[in-house]
Amino acid sequence: MPDFITRWAVIGLLILAGIATGTVLGARYELARWEAQTSKDQVVIARVKAARTIKTQEINHETNRFIARSDTYWGVRQSGGAGGLPGSTGIANAASTADAPDSEGSTGGNGCSPADGAADAIVILQWQQWANEMKKAGTAASQ
């Protein structure tokens, strides 16, 4: 009878050793998969950051060009005399004058040029276009 119990004990220990070995090997395999996926994700993130940096530089260049052209245009309109360009009602001159001091004594509003709002809109539109392109590229790559 003791041989019977000893045999079952040895069989049980072998089964436990097999389960433990399988668990350790499975964990190593999953860890390797996880690290491989993390490496791929880091490469994708680096590419997106590089593309974003390039796009930021392009947008900044375009925005600066637009602001320069717009400031030149507004400067021409404002220097056109009391009424601005022929037929104008002096809106450009009114827009270029500083605001009256408020109760706190600050003047001139926020100091933005007339082109700042339009430049902000251009930046937003170009970022949206870039985001849509990235989304399309990601959708195409996943198919």
d(CA 83, CA 98): 17
Contacting residues for 98 by C-beta, under 8 A, at least 6 apart: 107, 108, 109
pLDDT at 86 over 70: no
Residue 66 contacts residue 115 (beta carbons within 8 Å): yes
Give residue 89's pLDDT: 46
d(CA 78, CA 66): 18
Residue 119 contacts residue 67 (beta carbons within 8 Å): yes
Q: Residue ranges of the domains in the chain?
A: 1-34, 52-79+113-143
Tens digit of each residue's pLDDT (9 = 90 or more) over 95-119: 445 545 545 554 555 555 656 667 7
Tens digit of each residue's pLDDT (9 = 90 or more) over 18-75: 999 999 999 999 999 999 999 999 999 999 999 989 988 888 888 888 777 766 666 6
pTM of the full predicted structure? 0.42
